[in-house]
C-alpha cells in the first residue's frame, strides 16, 4: 500500500504530471476550483453548482446523457466510416461485412442503438426542462436553441436510416421524403405550387421542387444515398456541434442549472 | 386467455383506445396527488411491466411489432416516459402541498447553497456515463441491429412504416393530406415548442416542480406529448397493419382484410344529405360550409374566449401573443377533432378543394 501511495506521489511530483495538471490533489477548496477552471472540458461547468441542481432526481441527467451519446455516436460513426462506401452497389455489403468480417463487430449496433437512445434522451431532457419551468426568463432563448437541437437529432437519425441501403432504409426514407412533394408552394403537389408559373411553364415540377433538392433526383437512388451520407456525417453534426456550444455557453450565462429564484 | 385477448383487441379499436387514454390522462391530472403516491404508482408500474411480459408471450404481437428490433426503443420509451411523468408529478405534488402550508418548494430548502463541481457534480456525471455505457454495450452485444434484404425499388413492403419516433406523424397522414400532416402541422409543432417561453406569461414554477401553479401550461404540454405524440406512436407501432388498416394488438395481420372506405366530404353531407340537392358546380359555393366552419373555428373562438373565460390571459399577453397562443392550441386541437369526426361520421374532408384539402 505504501509503495502504491509513494509511486502515486512520485507521479504527481513529476514534471510530466505537473505540466498537465497545474494544481495539487483536489482536496482543498482552492484545488477543487482549479480542477474545474483549469480544464478545458470541465470548465463547461461553473466552479460551484447549486446544491438542488446537482440532484439527479431534479435534472434526470438527461442533458448530460444526450451529450455523452452524441460523443459515443461520433466515435462509433468515425469507425464505421472507415469501412463504408455510400454507393448503391457497395453500401449493403459493407454493412453485412461490418458484422461478419470486422473485429469488434458491434460498432454498427452501438451506433444504431445509441441513436435510438439519443432520440429518447433528448425528449426526456426537454420533458424535464419543461416540467421544471426552466424555459422561463432568462432561459427563453436557450430553450429555442434546444428545440433546434431536437430537430437536428431527429434529422440525424432519419438521414442515418437510409445508409444501410436495405428495404427498411429506402422505404422509410421514401415514405418520409414523399411529404416534401406536398410542401406548400415549393413542393410540386403542394398547395400554391400551381400558382408559380411563367405563361404555361410551371416553375415547381417534380424535377425542380424541394423533394428533388432533398433526394437529388425524382426517386430515392444512389444520388440520394450520397446526399444523405454527407448530411448525416458532415452537415448536420457540424450544425449540431455549433448549436451545442451555444447551448452549453448559454446554460452558464443564463445562471447555470435552474433552481428556485 | 383467448377471450381476454379478444377483449383487449376490442378495446384497441381506435376510438375506444383514444377515449380510454384521454380519460386516464384527465384522471391523472385531477388526482395527481393520489396517483403519484409511491404505493399506487408502484402498482401501476408493476401492471405496465406485467402487460409487457404478457404481450411478449403473444405470437402475433411479437411477430408484428414487439419483436422487431427497431421497435425495442418503444417499451423503453413507454417505461421512461411513465417513470419521469411520475417523478415530476410526484415532486410537484410534494411542492404543492408545501405551498399550501406556506412553505417554499423543496428545491428552495437548500436556498442558494452551492457545492464544488469537483467532486460532487463530476462524480454523478461519471456514474451516469458508466451506466449508460454499460447499458449500451449490453444492448449492442445482445441484439443485432436490424438489416432487411437489399434495397429494391420494385418490392414495396406492406405496411411501410416510418422509424418509431416519426410514427405519430405518419398516423396524422390518415386524417389530413400530406401538405398538412407532413409539412404544416410538424412545422407548427416546432414553431409551437419554440414559442412556449413567449406565450407562457406565468412567472411561477421557474426552477422547481409544481403543477398547481402552472395547471394550464402543464396540461396543454402533457396533452400534446402524452396523448398526441406517445399514444399516436402506439397506434402506429402496435395497431397499424397491412394497408395501414387497424388491427388489434393480438390479431393476426391479414393483408386481404377489406375495410369499407365510405368517407364522405362535408360538402356532400351538406348539399346532398341535408339539403337534398346536387353539389354546386363552383368550388367556392360547394365548399362554402366547410370554409365558413374552418374560418369561424380560427377567427371566432379566440375573441370569444378573450371576452369571457380567458379575459385575464388576454390582458396579460396582449393581442398578438394571445392570438399566437390560441391559434397554436386550435391547430393542436384540429387533430383529435378530425380523428373523432372520421370515426364518428366517416368525414373525409372539411374542405375539399384539390391541393388544399383540409
Is B177 part of any domain? yes
Cis, peptide link before residue B159, omega less than 30° from 0: yes
Range of the domain at B336: 266-345
Give yes or no: residues B10 and B95 share one domain.
yes
Number of other CB atoms surrounding residue A63 within 10 Å: 21
pLDDT at B322: 97
Mean pLDDT (whole number) for B187-203:
96
Give yes or no: residues B282 and B314 share one domain.
yes
> Using CB atoms, which residue from B77, B109, B162 is nearest to A120?
B77
Q: Which residues of chain A make contact with B125, given a CB cutoff of 8 A?
A: 61, 64
Give yes or no: residues B333 and B197 share one domain.
no
Backbone angles phi, psi at A55, to 5 degrees: -65, 130
Give yes or no: residues B203 and B101 share one domain.
yes
Which residue, among A130, A260, A57, has the nearest Cα to B105 in the 3D structure?
A: A260
Is B255 part of any domain? no
Is B81 part of any domain? yes
Give yes or no: residues B197 and B281 share one domain.
no
pLDDT at A24: 86
Which residue, among B109, B83, B79, B82, has the nearest Cα to B94 in the 3D structure?
A: B109
R_g of chain B, CA atoms, integer Å: 24
Number of other CB atoms surrounding residue B259 within 10 Å: 9
Give the span between the Cα atoms of A140 and A160, in whole angstroms: 31
> Using CB atoms, which residue from B128, B155, B207 is nearest to A260?
B207
Backbone angles phi, psi at B73, to 5 degrees: -60, -20
Give yes or no: residues B311 and B222 share one domain.
no
pLDDT at A95: 95
Q: Which residues of chain A make contact with B164, given a CB cutoff of 8 A?
A: 116
Is B142 part of any domain? no
Whether pLDDT at B338 is above 70:
yes
Give yes or no: residues B240 and B273 share one domain.
no
Whether pLDDT at B111 is above 80:
no
With a CB cutoff of 8 Å and minimum separation 6, the contacts of A123 are: A150, B77, B81
pLDDT band (50, 70, 90) for residue B113: confident
Q: Which DSSP helix (H) or strand (E) runs through A50?
A: strand A48-50
Give yes or no: residues B191 and B336 share one domain.
no
C-alpha cell at A97: 461485412
User: Of the candidates B195, B212, B244, which is a domain's last residue?
Assistant: B244
Is B94 part of any domain? yes
Residues in chain B, total: 358
pLDDT at B99: 96
Residue tagged 455510400 (cell numbers): A86
Number of other CB atoms surrounding residue B316 within 10 Å: 12
Give yes or no: residues B188 and B221 share one domain.
yes
Mean pLDDT (whole number) for B16-31:
96
Q: Percentage of chain B with pLDDT > 90?
A: 84
From residue A111, give the alpha-carbon distance in Å to each of A4, A190, B137, B150.
Answer: 39, 36, 10, 20
Whether pLDDT at B187 is above 80:
yes
Which residue does chain B place closest to A129, by CA atoms?
B207
Quote the pTM value.
Answer: 0.95
Average pLDDT, chain B: 93
Q: Given CA atoms B272, B274, B275, B280 in this order, what sign does their dihedral have?
A: negative
- A202: helix, strand or coil: strand
Is B79 part of any domain? yes
pLDDT at A1: 66
Give yes or no: residues B279 and B226 share one domain.
no
Among left, alpha and beta (phi > 0; psi -120 to 50; other), residue B243 is: left
Task: Summarize pLDDT for B162-177 with one digit per residue, the tens.
Answer: 899 999 999 999 999 9
> Using CB atoms, which residue from B145, B183, B194 is nearest to A109?
B145
User: Of the candidates B183, B210, B244, which is a domain's last residue?
Assistant: B244
Is B8 part of any domain? yes
Mean pLDDT (whole number) for B100-113:
88
Is B354 part of any domain? no
Give yes or no: residues B271 and B232 share one domain.
no
Task: Summarize pLDDT for A161-182 with one digit per residue, the tens.
Answer: 999 999 999 999 998 898 899 9
Do B185 and B172 contact (CB within 8 A), yes or no? yes
Total domains present in chain B: 2
pLDDT at A259: 86
As for the ipTM of the complex, it is: 0.95
Q: Percentage of chain A with pLDDT > 90?
A: 70
Which residues of chain A fall below pLDDT 70? 1
Q: Which residues of chain B make contact with A217, given a CB cutoff of 8 A?
A: none
Do A188 and A204 contact (CB within 8 A), yes or no? yes
User: Of the candidates B213, B244, B275, which is a domain's last residue?
Assistant: B244
Which residue does chain A place closest to B200, by CA atoms?
A136
Give yes or no: residues B239 and B286 share one domain.
no
Do B196 and B342 contact (CB within 8 A), yes or no? no
Task: Summarize pLDDT for B260-272 with one digit per residue, the tens.
Answer: 778 999 999 999 9
Give the span between the Cα atoms of B224 and B329, in whole angstroms: 10
Q: In the beta sheet, which residues pair with residue A30?
A: none
Backbone angles phi, psi at B57, to 5 degrees: -95, -5
**Which domains are seen in chain A, by residue range?**
1-48 (no CATH), 52-253 (1.20.810.10)
**End-to-end Cα distance, chain B:** 43
- B264: helix, strand or coil: strand
Q: Is A157 on the interface with B (CB under 8 A)?
A: yes
Amino acid at each position: 500500500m505504501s509503495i502504491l501511495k509513494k509511486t502515486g506521489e512520485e507521479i504527481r511530483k513529476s514534471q510530466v504530471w505537473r505540466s498537465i495538471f497545474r494544481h495539487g490533489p483536489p482536496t482543498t477548496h482552492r484545488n477543487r476550483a482549479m480542477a474545474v477552471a483549469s480544464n478545458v472540458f470541465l470548465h463547461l461547468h461553473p466552479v460551484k453548482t447549486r446544491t438542488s441542481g446537482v440532484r439527479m432526481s431534479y435534472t434526470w441527467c438527461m442533458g448530460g446523457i444526450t451529450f455523452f451519446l452524441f460523443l459515443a455516436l461520433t466515435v462509433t460513426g468515425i469507425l464505421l466510416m472507415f469501412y463504408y462506401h455510400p454507393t448503391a452497389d457497395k453500401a449493403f455489403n459493407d454493412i453485412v461485412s461490418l458484422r461478419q468480417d470486422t473485429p469488434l463487430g458491434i460498432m454498427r449496433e452501438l451506433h444504431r442503438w445509441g441513436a435510438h437512445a439519443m432520440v429518447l434522451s433528448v425528449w426526456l431532457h426537454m420533458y424535464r426542462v419543461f416540467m421544471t419551468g426552466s424555459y422561463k426568463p432568462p432561459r427563453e432563448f436557450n430553450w429555442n436553441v434546444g428545440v433546434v437541437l431536437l430537430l437536428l437529432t431527429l434529422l440525424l437519425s432519419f438521414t442515418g436510416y437510409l445508409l444501410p441501403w436495405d428495404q427498411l432504409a429506402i422505404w422509410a426514407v421514401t415514405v418520409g421524403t414523399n411529404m416534401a412533394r406536398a410542401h406548400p408552394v415549393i413542393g410540386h403537389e403542394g398547395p400554391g405550387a400551381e400558382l408559380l408559373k411563367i405563361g404555361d411553364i410551371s416553375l415547381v415540377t417534380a424535377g425542380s421542387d424541394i423533394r428533388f433538392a432533398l433526394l437529388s433526383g425524382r426517386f430515392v437512388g444512389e444520388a440520394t444515398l450520397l446526399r444523405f451520407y454527407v448530411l448525416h456525417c458532415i452537415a448536420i453534426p457540424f450544425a449540431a456541434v455549433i448549436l451545442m456550444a451555444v447551448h452549453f455557453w448559454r446554460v452558464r450565462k443564463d445562471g447555470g442549472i435552474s433552481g428556485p429564484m | 386467455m383467448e377471450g381476454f385477448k379478444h377483449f383487449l383487441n376490442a378495446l384497441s379499436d381506435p376510438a375506444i383506445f383514444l377515449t380510454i387514454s384521454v380519460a386516464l390522462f384527465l384522471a391523472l391530472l385531477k388526482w395527481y396527488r393520489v396517483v403519484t403516491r409511491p404505493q399506487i404508482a408502484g402498482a401501476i408500474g408493476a401492471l405496465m411491466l406485467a402487460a409487457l411480459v404478457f404481450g411478449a408471450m403473444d405470437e402475433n404481437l411479437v411477430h408484428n411489432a414487439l419483436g422487431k428490433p427497431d421497435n425495442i426503443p418503444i417499451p423503453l420509451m413507454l417505461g421512461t416516459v411513465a417513470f419521469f411523468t411520475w417523478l415530476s408529478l410526484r415532486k410537484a405534488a410534494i411542492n404543492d402541498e408545501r405551498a399550501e402550508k406556506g412553505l417554499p418548494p423543496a428545491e428552495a430548502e437548500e436556498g442558494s447553497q452551492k457545492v464544488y463541481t469537483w467532486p460532487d457534480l463530476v462524480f454523478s456525471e461519471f456514474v451516469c456515463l458508466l451506466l449508460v455505457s454499460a447499458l449500451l454495450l449490453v444492448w449492442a452485444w445482445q441484439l443485432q441491429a436490424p438489416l432487411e434484404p437489399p434495397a429494391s425499388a420494385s418490392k414495396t413492403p406492406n405496411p411501410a412504416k416510418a422509424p418509431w419516433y416519426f410514427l405519430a406523424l405518419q398516423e396524422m397522414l390518415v386524417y389530413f393530406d400530406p401538405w398538412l400532416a407532413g409539412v404544416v402541422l410538424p412545422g407548427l409543432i416546432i414553431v409551437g415548442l419554440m414559442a412556449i417561453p413567449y406565450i407562457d406569461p406565468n412567472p411561477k414554477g421557474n426552477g422547481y416542480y409544481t403543477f398547481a401553479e402552472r395547471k394550464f401550461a402543464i396540461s396543454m404540454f402533457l396533452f400534446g406529448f402524452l396523448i398526441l405524440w406517445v399514444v399516436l406512436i402506439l397506434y402506429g407501432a402496435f395497431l397499424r397493419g397491412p394497408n395501414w388498416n387497424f388491427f388489434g394488438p393480438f390479431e393476426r395481420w391479414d393483408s386481404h382484410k377489406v375495410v369499407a372506405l365510405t368517407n364522405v366530404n362535408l360538402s356532400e353531407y351538406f348539399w346532398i344529405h341535408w339539403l337534398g340537392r346536387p353539389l354546386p358546380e363552383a368550388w367556392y359555393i360547394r365548399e362554402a360550409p366547410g370554409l365558413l366552419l374552418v374560418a369561424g373555428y380560427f377567427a371566432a373562438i379566440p375573441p370569444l374566449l378573450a371576452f369571457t373565460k380567458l379575459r385575464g390571459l388576454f390582458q396579460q399577453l396582449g393581442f398578438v401573443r394571445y392570438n399566437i397562443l390560441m391559434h397554436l392550441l386550435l391547430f393542436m386541437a384540429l387533430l383529435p377533432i378530425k380523428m373523432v369526426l372520421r370515426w364518428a361520421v366517416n368525414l373525409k374532408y372539411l374542405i375539399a378543394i384539390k391541393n388544399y384539402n383540409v
